[in-house]
Structure 1
């Protein structure tokens, strides 16, 4: 019960890594507030699953690209659940596109969701943690893409490097308040964000699996444990760090 009695807020939590983390947090004793966009059925299903464990849960719609969403999410979650102990910044998009003809609107939307959204959400959560006292933990979902390039991800990889950098700087800014800030860097995880790309008939999925020492692509549940570890008191002296969760892909890129 790593998060017994804690309150956890998660963005992008109606599916994928966000949902898996929300359910795992409840399993470890936390009440959970879920932010989502465009998938009310998935969010409501996650709430029902969490409530079935005897924990409190609520789902709040909102586009993280809009700064006002951050304030609204944190305020509503705090009113319903009492406080914010853990914040997980997970929401993100990756509309794969070639570099030379990248439309400005694709670049701007990716920046606003992945990087600007992370900034505003983390800032809102941190302000609530400071107001209530007692410290807290912030975990951001970065990516292995913060460390390596991608031909069709020239708009995406900079945002994930930025999320990691945000956690490093926030760790310095918030340490005096007892707030720890870390990131996880997933490798290739099977989620809605890449199912079309990995479903191509050119053998891309098999080629990627062959480069992973553990022999398989990741699943959303593979991230839940590392995120909960960083959010828990087991990591009470860990801040400003990044944890690769990639099945060994990065060390095998040679």
Structure 2
């Protein structure tokens, strides 16, 4: 029995990076998977091809999570295609690195609208569908180690990730009576599109790798297992929790 056999999983920002890895990982665990994506049509199509290669149904729905209306549209199309929603993985996010003192207002607002408000409305829409269905469900938010630590060029980003972590704690309380579990994963430094330019600095990359007890930066696929676990019935008594997936970076203070 695969961990997500018979379940329908929705993933935002599912065409690349952690979202893509989570979507494909969910399919390999037996789930039908619907992904949301904003602009990467070719990548979305190739992700669906991998989901189908795993023997599951896949669906790609285009839309910008910064638009609250997109949340309801994504849920509606997933239900139309698969009949239900069992799991929401709120992953879509951006991090345009910038210094604090001259941070453009537009950059702050866009980051908040995508990362925090986009996550809020997606999770809310999924929860409404789960409550209507009446058989519970699971919500997993992709937060970040940045919810717990600072970043000089991430003053607009870290509050959004702390917000997602906090959202899962409060939503766990609000939705527990409906048997809907809400948890977050907190990735460390993962090699994805979001940070490829920043990590092109080989000196900085080497310095970051040296701080990680496991000796390497993370890959998107490193998040697939933890997300599948939290989405599965193996985590049936886990809610309001946060799972660090950072190779030990957070604890390596000395």
- Shorter chain as normaliser: what TM range? over 0.9
- C-alpha distance in 2 between matches for 1:199 and 1:171: 38
SS of the residue aligned with 1:251? coil
Name structure 2 gaps, 5 residues minimum.
none
What CA deviation, in whole Å up to 9, does each residue of 1:10-39 have, x standing for no partner? 000001100011111101100000000110
**Aligned counterpart, 1:215:** 215
- C-alpha distance in 2 between matches for 1:40 and 1:55: 20
How well do the aligned residues superpose, as a CA RMSD in angstroms? 0.6
**Aligned counterpart, 2:70:** 69
Aligned residues: 253
**Post-superposition, which runs of at least 4 consecutive aligned residues in structure 1 deviate over 4 A?**
none
- C-alpha distance in 2 between matches for 1:171 and 1:120: 15
Shift of 1:52: 1.8
What CA deviation, in whole Å up to 9, does each residue of 1:62-115 have, x standing for no partner? 000000000000000011001000100000000000000000000000000000
Aligned ranges 1:3-152 → 2 under 5 Å: 3-152=4-153
**Aligned counterpart, 1:198:** 199
What CA deviation, in whole Å up to 9, does each residue of 1:189-208 have, x standing for no partner? 0000000000025x000000
**Aligned counterpart, 2:241:** 241
- C-alpha distance in 1 between matches for 2:252 and 2:132: 44
**Aligned counterpart, 1:232:** 232
Name structure 1 gaps, 5 residues minimum.
none
